Copies of this chain bind each other. A is one copy, B any other.
Amino acid sequence: MHRLSLAIAATAASLASALPADAPPPQVPATPDAVIAAAPASDWRRISRYELLVMDLTPDAKGAPRRVVIQLVPAPFSQKWVDNIRQLVSERWYDGLAVTRVQDDYVVQWGDPDADDKTKAKPLPRFIKAVPESDYTSPAVTKNPLRNPKTGWTNAIVDPYAMTQFWDGWPLGRDSGVSLDKGPRNWPIHCYGTVGVGRDFSPDTGTGAELYAVIGQAPRQLDRNIAVVGRVISGIEYLSSLPRGTGPSGFYKTPEEYTRIKQVRLGVEVRDLPEYEYLSTDSPSFGAYLNRRANRMDKFFIEAAGGVDACNVPVPIRTVKK
């Protein structure tokens, strides 16, 4: 598996013989990486620095910095929690808190280690408000068709959990709403790197003071049960490679095991942050990328699956020189 993820163009012959039903024209690059590399500037969208959280952990044992960059989910999703999070950053509330839980193949979680002890818990700013459970979903923003009318490409992936469509750079679950006597709903789904709001049992929905990031197989059972507020777009390895906690559910047993949070800032507050762009999910390039992820023709592959999981189509994100 030496070159497993390298992008190497298939020969025209092998490409022609393997064309799937929803095949791109032959001039489309043969691999996902090649599609991304060939995407024109017009297919990329700038991510607002106001949508970015920059979490600096304390330096590692060798003194190297550990910066985790999180993109917050856009409106209309989870905005009351996102507002709470921006408020908490504004109050510098997260600074000095810690990663308290690392459960293998599940989540890394951070917040106030004393949150469960009323005598020691860090008080929340008074502006932080409770959020109704109904806000785990939103009235539908995606349209129904399985094909994106703007690009002609497949636009939906149906899996055992739901239909997923890509919208404004995010994978969204979608239902008909019929089972609830309501209209169709959308919700951001849990994939590797997704950031959500820790909570206790219903009707508690969490405030955003305690957050987690997914570091394993997509825990899609959490969709519509917990608030997705963002995704890690840089530095996930500083979370995913932390030692696993040995207490129940991966909580650390002693404070000595915690990784401390130096500070959390909004992107607009951080001078040395690069600009980030995502590949527009309404662009022809994204349609080709999704197709190539589902029908691998890289030289390494012998038999293409002909399908792909929504969480195996990570939306391409890049940094750009200013």
Q: Which residues of A contact B (CB under 8 A)?
A: 1-6, 102-107, 109, 116, 133, 136, 157-162, 191-193, 196, 198-202, 206, 210, 212, 216-221, 223-226, 236-237, 240-244, 248-249, 293-294, 296, 299-305, 307-309, 311-312
- B133, A226: Cβ atoms closer than 8 Å: no
Q: A3-B201, A218-B217, A242-B241 are in contact. Are A309 and B109 (CB under 8 A)?
A: no
Contact flag A105-B294 (CB < 8 Å), given A300-B201, A312-B220 = no
Choose among A104, A109, A210, A242 the residue with the greatest number of B CB atoms under 10 Å from its CB.
Answer: A104
The verdict on A159 contacting B1 (CB below 8 Å), with A225-B301, A303-B224 known, is: no
Q: Which residues of chain B have C-beta atoms less than 8 A from A4's C-beta? A: 107, 249
Known: A217-B311, A236-B104, A312-B217. A225 touches B157 (CB 8 A): no
Closest B residue to A308 using CB positions: B160
Query: Provided the pairs A160-B307, A216-B216, A308-B160 are in contact, do residues A221 and B5 lie with their beta carbons within 8 angstroms?
Result: no
In the assembled complex, the Cα of A242 lies from the Cα of B26 at a distance in Å of 41
Of A161, A248, A308, most buried by chain B (CB within 10 Å of CB) is A161
Closest to A203 in B: B302
Top-7 shortest CB links A-B = A160-B307, A1-B198, A237-B244, A224-B303, A192-B217, A104-B237, A161-B305
Given A216-B192, A219-B312, A312-B217, A161 and B307 contact (CB-CB distance below 8 Å): yes
A–B Cβ pairs within 8 angstroms, 6 of them: A1-B196, A105-B192, A162-B307, A216-B217, A218-B309, A221-B305
Highest count of chain B CB atoms <10 Å: which of A193, A196, A302, A307 = A302
Q: Are B3 and A217 in contact (CB under 8 A)?
A: no
Query: Are A5 and B249 in contact, with the CB atoms below 8 A?
Result: yes
Q: Which B residue's beta carbon lies closest to that of A299?
A: B201
Q: Which chain B residues border A103 with CB–CB below 8 Å?
A: 5
- Shortest beta-carbon distance, A150 to chain B, in Å? 22
What residues on B are CB-neighbors of A133 within 8 Å?
302
Chain B residues lying within 8 Å of A299, measured Cβ to Cβ, are 201-202
User: Nearest chain B CB to A162's CB is how many angstroms away?
Assistant: 7
**In the bound complex, do residue B1 and residue A312 qualify as a contact, i.e. CB atoms below 8 Å apart?**
no
With the chains together, A39 CA to B4 CA distance in Å? 41
